[in-house]
Amino acid sequence: MIAYIANTLPFLWEGLLVTLAVSGLVVAISLATGVLSGVGLVYGPWWVRLPIRIYSDILRGTPLLVLIFLIIYGLPLLGIDFGNYGSAVIALAAFKTAHVAEIARGAIQSIHYGQTDAGKAIGLTFPQRLQYVILPQAVRRFLPPWINAVADAVKGSALVSLAGIVDLTLAVQQVIGRTYDPLPMYLLGAAMYFIINYSLSQTSRRLEARFAYIRE
């Protein structure tokens, strides 16, 4: 049993790296696009808010798997092909962007308008108000749900295995396909996902403690 697991570790290692790369890309892209969209949702004029609102509502109401297949199989028919890896990352990031946008919107809106008033009163411009007044306070409320979303992205990345990308999940399936002995492999795979996500939630707790010095 131990020997069996030890033999399979090199195969899973490659898959683990792919899972981490996909998750990392998705988290980085969706953080940038999501926070921008969130700021747009709060402060933008209607022609900025409306498309983001539509985008966010549609994406959050669509199953991720459908979105992945739509980008992988739908776009090539229109002459656009990002390849399977690119398509999967784009689909996951697009999906996650909608969630991060809502998290950012909620965090910003939870900062009382009095803070903006105070910023205006001392003559701060809009970017300055964001930079020095609103965002530093909003970060605290943004972090916990965002780390949840990151953990969700790591787990959601398992869906790329359906696009034939050898991530941790497909690496597990491949070993099972050879040995027809699934249970130890599923446990090992689950343990790896757990270790990643548990470290994330620990990081989240650290960060929350780090930002807890700010008093309301």
Partner 1 sequence: MIPTHPIFLRQLRNKGRVNMSERSGNETRARRDFLKLGGLGLAVGAAAAATLDPHKAAAQAPAQSLLRTVLNRGKLIVGTGSTNAPWHFEDDKGQLTGMDITMARILARGLFDDPTKVEFVKQDPASRIPNITAGKVDIVIQFMTVSPARAQLVAFSRPYYIEGVALLTSTKGKMKTHKELIDAGKNAKASVLQNVDADKLVAKALPNAQVLQLDTQANAIQALDSGRSDAAVIDLSTVGWLVKRNPDKYLDSGYHYDTQIYSAAMRQGDPDWLQWVNTCFNVNMHGHQTDLYDQAFGDFFASKPPRRVPGFPSI
Q: Which residues in this chain contact partner 1 in the complex, by CB under 8 A?
A: 7, 10-11, 42, 46, 49-50, 53-54, 57-58, 69-70, 72-74, 76-78, 81, 84, 109, 112-114, 116-117, 161-166, 170, 173-178, 180, 182-183, 216
**Which CB atom, from 28 or from 70, has the smaller least distance to partner 1?**
70
| Rounded to 5°, angle at Cα 62 from 58 and 66 | 130
Residue (11 or 211) nearer to partner 1, CB: 11
Instruction: Identify which of residues 28 and 63 has a Cβ nearer to partner 1 in the complex.
Output: 63
Conformation bin of residue 202: beta by default, left when phi > 0, alpha when psi is -120 to 50: alpha
CB of 147 to partner 1, least distance (A): 26
CB 44 to partner 1: min, Å:
10
Please report how close the Cβ of residue 94 comes to partner 1 at its closest, in angstroms.
15
Torsion sign, CA atoms 86, 90, 96, 101: positive
d(CA 159, CA 169): 8
Minimum CB distance to partner 1, residue 111 (Å):
10
Q: Which is nearer to partner 1, 174 or 201 (CB)?
A: 174
Classify residue 81 by its DSSP letter: -
Supply 61's token pair.
């109401």
What SS3 state is found at 166? coil
Q: Which residue has the tokens 């930002």?
A: 211
